[in-house]
Amino acid sequence: MPQKRAKFSERQALRKSIGFNLAPTAQKKGKGHDIPRNAMFLFQQPPSKEAKADDAPKPTPAQLTIRPNERMRDFNQRVEKAFSSDVNASMRRGLRTESNQRKRERRRTAEKEKKRAANPYLVQAQEAAQDWKKADTKKSANTPALVAEQATRPKPKSD
């Protein structure tokens, strides 16, 4: 079976040949410090006022990335806060369309009532014509009326 890694002596020799003067490696987020994550924010410098003025007014999804040492919960809150105005605007727009549809429906029923009051026979004829157009012309052999008729029909006597 092949070895998965080099022998211990070979690894030690490689470490000695590389030496100690290496570039720093990236540390894991939030690790490698003796102080808690929340305390790190106290030691950071506050952002300058000029930097705040340069910020874009509306963040885009490309700009919203998780920051170093930021929890997922905090990142989600930041994203929701950034897009809350868009969500609220779309909700209001949706409510407006629903109320407009209700208004249109009320107007239609009011117009139908006016027509019905003016000439009831004409309106009845128009509604009957519309109902006839909407009616399904295809009939199945197993419609409830036919099934009930076949079930109640007496069977012919065989002699």
Q: Is 156 inside a domain boundary?
A: no
Report the alpha-carbon distance of residue 36 to residue 69 in Å, rounded: 11
Q: Is 148 inside a domain boundary?
A: no
Coil, strand or helix: which one is 10?
A: helix
Q: Is 13 inside a domain boundary?
A: no
Report the alpha-carbon distance of residue 117 to residue 111 in Å, rounded: 10
Q: Is 102 inside a domain boundary?
A: yes
Q: Is 5 inside a domain boundary?
A: no
30-85 pLDDT tens trace = 555 677 777 887 778 777 777 666 665 665 656 788 888 889 999 999 888 888 88
Q: Is 157 inside a domain boundary?
A: no
Q: Is 140 inside a domain boundary?
A: no
Report the alpha-carbon distance of residue 97 to residue 63 in Å, rounded: 32
**Domains in the chain, number:** 1
Rounded to the nearest 10°, the torsion over CA 109, 110, 113, 119 is -110
**pLDDT at res. 32:** 54
Domain that holds residue 83: 70-131
Q: What secondary structure, in 3-state letters, does 86-114 show?
A: HHHHHHHHHHHHHHHHHHHHHHHHHHHHH
Interaxial angle between packed helices 120-134 and 72-118, expressed in degrees from 0 to 180 and rounded to the nearest 10: 130
Report the alpha-carbon distance of residue 79 to residue 130 in Å, rounded: 51
Q: Is 16 inside a domain boundary?
A: no
22-39 pLDDT tens trace = 676 666 555 556 777 778
